[in-house]
Amino acid sequence: MGDLASPVLKATCAIAKAWQGRVIALVGVSQIAPVAQAWDYYPAGVYESMRDYALATTQRMAEAADLCLRDEGVPYDIRLSEDYWSTPAEIATAHARYADLTVLGMGDSETETRHRVFAAVAAGAGRPVLSVQASTPATVGFGHAVVAWKASKESARALSDALPWLGRMATVDLLTVEEASSKANPLDALLSNHLDRHGVRTRWVRRSAAHASAGAEIVHHAAESRADLIVAGAYSHSRLVEQVLGGTTRHLLSNAPCPVLFAH
């Protein structure tokens, strides 16, 4: 943790400026503790040495984060995690519960680790998560949004969390990706009326998943319409002690042309 890639930093600060918010940069080191019985076989002082190393590394990361943020023109805090014996996913989830929004960077490196952190935060924090690609523009726009809609609790939660964003957008597409055998949901018209009462004017866009996955169709439409934001439910299922992402969610995390606001 502590990776403040430029696109993530710029997007986070732009959001804070738009809503007069505050940026909290979480930095920390994870050193997963072995089972308690194993400490009996470690040389004397190993525990203290590992803790001192983690503390020193976290402090250096905090100083680097401060250098990145001090010229961005937004109020900020650097939060140092001392929970060295938890996983990055556990640390991020615990802190995400005390913020309005968590911004996570996605890139080509450490993809599986980033996805595990995202899955844990999305499923366990009870807060929306914004994923930002390394190729994301430095500014966050409020021109056009694409809502990837399906009649599910995840989509409904994401839409509700996104209302402050959608109210600022000039145009909003409600995108459904339909299987060959699926039929249009007669209740979809209620969604347009609901958003209209919130001052959000929308249009429906329907695409077929006959020749490509739902994730690919969402990415294609977002790129084609030059979307500034995608809104989507985060889908996952539990496997042993971790969350496993659904195919559409994973595809959006890796391929979205703009930031994606997820909720679980």
pLDDT digits 0-9 by tens, 46-96: 778 888 888 999 999 999 999 999 999 999 999 999 888 899 999 999 999
Question: Is 133 among the domain residues?
Answer: no
Question: Is 113 among the domain residues?
Answer: no
Question: Is 31 among the domain residues?
Answer: yes
By three-state DSSP, how is residue 227 classified? coil
Question: Is 134 among the domain residues?
Answer: no
Question: Is 51 among the domain residues?
Answer: yes
DSSP annotation of 109 reads T
CATH code for the domain of 195? 3.40.50.620
Asked whether the predicted pLDDT for residue 37 surpasses 90, the reply is: no
Last residue of a domain, one of 42, 57, 86: 86
160 and 245, same domain (yes or no): yes
Burial of 70 (0-12, 13-18, 19+ CB in 10 A): exposed
Question: Is 192 among the domain residues?
Answer: yes
Average pLDDT taken over every residue of the chain: 88
Q: Mind listing the pLDDT tens digit for each residue in 201-218?
A: 999 999 988 888 999 999
The shares of helix, strand and coil residues in the chain, as percent rounded to the nearest 5, are 40, 20, 35
149 and 68, same domain (yes or no): no
**CA 37-40-42 angle, 5° bins:** 115
Question: Is 173 among the domain residues?
Answer: yes
Q: Domain tally for the chain?
A: 2
CB 114 within 8 A of CB 104: yes
Asked whether the predicted pLDDT for residue 241 surpasses 60, the reply is: no
Last residue of a domain, one of 70, 86, 102: 86
171 and 243, same domain (yes or no): yes
Confidence of residue 2 (pLDDT cuts 50, 70, 90): very low
Q: Which domain holds residue 216?
A: 144-263
Asked whether the predicted pLDDT for residue 23 surpasses 90, the reply is: yes
The pair of structure tokens assigned to 150 is 């399906």
Residue 6: Cβ within 10 Å count? 12
Q: Mind listing the pLDDT tens digit for each residue in 159-179?
A: 999 999 999 999 999 999 987
For the chain, how big is the Rg over CA atoms in Å? 20
73 and 160, same domain (yes or no): no
Last residue of a domain, one of 44, 67, 86: 86
58 and 154, same domain (yes or no): no
Question: Is 139 among the domain residues?
Answer: no
70 and 181, same domain (yes or no): no
